[in-house]
């Protein structure tokens, strides 16, 4: 079983739609969770951290369910510019110097 699993997609949705991604992780002791966005041929960029209480940043909402060991990302009112690969990232350690684990990514394509 992979340490971090994501549905690879691709998700192809119309502009304005709401789309949700899920991610599961195997290490129950994992401490920190993130969603990164990666555009084609670019480096990953942090989209948002994920907290147990859930957090929202504009059109983006992230949630963590420790009991079920999954993380979700919800994108509302999707824009063309949201087209990218979304990476679920888990830090199993207590420090940012711990190696982080990437999911394989979910590709999202927003159509006009």
Partner 1 sequence: GAVVSQHPSWVICKSGTSVKIECRSLDFQATTMFWYRQFPKQSLMLMATSNEGSKATYEQGVEKDKFLINHASLTLSTLTVTSAHPEDSSFYICSAPDYNEQFFGPGTRLTVL
The residue behind tokens 């990302």 is 73
Q: Which residues contact 97 (CB under 8 A, 6 or more apart)?
A: none
- Closer to partner 1 by CB, 72 or 104: give it: 104
For 62, other C-beta atoms within 10 Å of its C-beta total 22
| Residue 100 makes contact with partner 1 by CB under 8 A | yes
Strands 70-75 and 60-65: antiparallel
Q: Which residue from 75, 103, 108, 110 is in contact with partner 1, where contact means CB under 8 A?
A: 103
Q: Which of 75, 79, 86 is nearest to 110 (CA)?
A: 79
Provide, rounded to whole angstroms, the least separation between the CB of residue 16 and partner 1: 27
Provide, rounded to whole angstroms, the least separation between the CB of residue 13 and partner 1: 20
Q: Which residues contact 53 (CB under 8 A, 6 or more apart)?
A: none
Provide, rounded to whole angstroms, the least separation between the CB of residue 69 and partner 1: 19
Each residue 34-73 as x (binds partner 1 by CB under 8 A) or -, in order, gives: -------xxxxxx--x------------------------
| Residue 81 makes contact with partner 1 by CB under 8 A | no
Residues that bind partner 1 (CB under 8 A): 32, 41-46, 49, 87, 89, 95-97, 99-105
């Amino acid at each position: 079983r992979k340490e971090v699993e994501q549905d690879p997609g691709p998700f192809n949705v119309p502009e304005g739609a709401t789309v949700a991604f899920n991610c599961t992780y195997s290490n129950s002791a994992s401490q920190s969770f993130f969603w990164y966005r990666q555009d084609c041929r670019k480096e990953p960029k942090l989209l948002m951290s994920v907290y147990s209480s859930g957090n929202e940043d504009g059109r983006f909402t992230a949630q963590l369910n420790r009991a079920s060991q999954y993380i979700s990302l919800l994108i509302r009112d999707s824009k063309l510019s949201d087209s990218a690969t979304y990476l679920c990232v888990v830090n199993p350690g207590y420090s940012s110097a711990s190696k982080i684990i990437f999911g394989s990514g979910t590709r999202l394509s927003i159509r006009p």
